[in-house]
């Protein structure tokens, strides 16, 4: 029997402050490898983000390594990423928002990302445990809604995300079966051009902790 409601949560800049993670990595690369390495690594990182549609830290490191095949110290960067304290970068109220939504029905992580580092991030942050292992990670989640329905069937969905582009694309497919929640956190959400370019969400909140008081949860 289908549950009445499933709440879907994005990860980066929705539950977890990924801008802070990126800032920390920038400082680490600059201190350990110098400003030239920082500049080139993040040039590759942004190129990959444009190509893939998501942040691929390890993929950028692989490309950077191809340009510097004789530098054995680059492996320290991967160690930094794998050992990063992601649990400390959860937004205030993120876990409480998940707990509150779970009182109304199943909660699922629905994220974009690579097949290695993104699951690691979700696990190390404590989000995997918080949703009871219900985690879906796709390359482009807005294009995988039929698969989401197959794996997590429900009569109605709520999608919580910091990207209006994603929310608009999902709304076009699911229509009234979807309630979209826009969280104004992170650089995408604060970009005024993005807010003008895409349709407004059904619900808008300034912080993920505010989800506790949202109308659809009352």
DSSP 93: T
Looking at the structure, tell me whether residues 109 and 161 fall in a common domain. yes
pLDDT at 194 (0 to 100) = 81
pLDDT at 217 (0 to 100) = 61
Model confidence at 207: pLDDT above 90: yes
Looking at the structure, tell me whether residues 72 and 39 fall in a common domain. yes
Model confidence at 111: pLDDT above 80: yes
Using the CB atoms, write b or e for 68-102: b if 16+ within 10 Å. eeeeeebeebeeebeebebeebbbebbbebbebbe
- The strands making up 5-9's β-sheet, listed across from edge to edge, are 135-138, 107-112, 5-9, 156-161, 178-183, 203-205
Cβ proximity of 165 and 139 under 8 Å: no
Q: If residue 20 lies in a helix (H) or strand (E), which one and from where to where?
A: helix 18-33
Looking at the structure, tell me whether residues 78 and 95 fall in a common domain. no
Q: What is the pLDDT of residues 183-200, one digit of tens each?
A: 999 988 898 888 889 999
Give the C-alpha separation, 49 to 63, whole Å. 13
Model confidence at 12: pLDDT above 70: yes
pLDDT at 17 (0 to 100) = 97
**Residue listed under structure tokens 């942050």:** 125
Looking at the structure, tell me whether residues 140 and 71 fall in a common domain. no
Q: What is the pLDDT of residues 46-71, one digit of tens each?
A: 999 888 888 888 899 889 989 888 77
**What is the chain's mean pLDDT, rounded?**
92
- CATH code for position 139: 3.40.50.1000
Looking at the structure, tell me whether residues 211 and 182 fall in a common domain. yes
Work out the pLDDT band at 218, boundaries 50, 70, 90: low
Looking at the structure, tell me whether residues 205 and 111 fall in a common domain. yes
Model confidence at 10: pLDDT above 90: yes
């Amino acid at each position: 029997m289908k549950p009445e409601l499933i709440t879907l949560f994005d990860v980066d800049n929705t539950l977890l402050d990924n801008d802070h993670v990126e800032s920390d990595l920038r400082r680490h690369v600059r201190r350990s490898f110098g400003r030239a390495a920082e500049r080139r690594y993040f040039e590759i990182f942004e190129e990959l983000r444009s190509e893939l549609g998501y942040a691929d830290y390890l993929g950028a490191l692989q490309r950077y390594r191809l340009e510097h095949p004789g530098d054995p110290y680059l492996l320290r960067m991967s160690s930094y990423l794998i050992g990063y304290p992601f649990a400390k970068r959860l937004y205030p109220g993120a876990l409480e928002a998940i707990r509150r939504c779970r009182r109304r029905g199943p909660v699922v992580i629905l994220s974009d990302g690579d097949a290695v580092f993104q699951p690691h991030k979700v696990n190390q942050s404590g989000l995997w445990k918080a949703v009871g292992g219900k985690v879906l990670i796709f390359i482009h989640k807005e294009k995988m809604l039929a698969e989401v329905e197959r794996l997590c069937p429900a009569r109605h969905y709520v999608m919580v995300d910091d990207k209006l582009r994603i929310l608009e694309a999902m709304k076009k497919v699911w229509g009234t079966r979807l309630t979209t929640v826009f969280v104004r956190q992170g650089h995408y959400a604060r970009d005024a051009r993005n807010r003008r370019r895409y349709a407004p969400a059904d619900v808008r909140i300034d912080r993920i902790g505010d989800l506790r008081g949202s109308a659809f949860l009352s």
